[in-house]
Amino acid sequence: SEERRALYDRVNIPRMMEELEWLCTVLPSPRNAYGAEWVEMQQVDDAGAAARFALKPVFCHNDLVSGNVLVDTAATPPRCQLIDFEYAGYNFRAYDVANHFNNYNGFDEYW
C-alpha cells in the first residue's frame, strides 16, 4: 500500500547500519573481549559523572528521615509524600539520600 511505502521511504537505512555497527562494538562479543574493554572505559567515566551528578546544587528537603516520609499503599497507584519542609533549601543533590541513610537505624517498634 502507499502508506507502507511512505513509511519504508522514511527509514534511514544508512543511519541504521551505522547504529548496528556501533552496537557490534559495544555489545559483548569476541570483537570487544565480550564487553570487558567497554566496561573498563565506562567505570572511569562513571565515577566523574556520578560526582558531577551528586554535587549539583538543587532544592533539598534537608530532613529526609523516616518520620517525614508518608507512604499510602492503599492508594492506586501507591503514593509517597514528603512532609515537614522546615529545613528545606538548596544543597547538594546527593545530600538527602546520604543524610537519610546516615540517620536510618531502623524503625522503633513503638514508633
Q: pLDDT band at 4, cuts 50/70/90?
A: confident
Q: Which domain holds residue 6?
A: 1-54
Q: How many domains does the chain have?
A: 2
Both 36 and 83 in a single domain?
no
Supply the pLDDT for residue 24: 75
Residue 68 predicted with pLDDT over 80:
yes
Q: Is 26 exposed, middle or buried (0-12, 13-18, 19+ CB in 10 A)?
A: middle
Phi, psi of 61 (to 5 degrees): -75, -40
Both 33 and 61 in a single domain?
no
Both 49 and 61 in a single domain?
no
Domain boundary among 54, 72, 94: 54
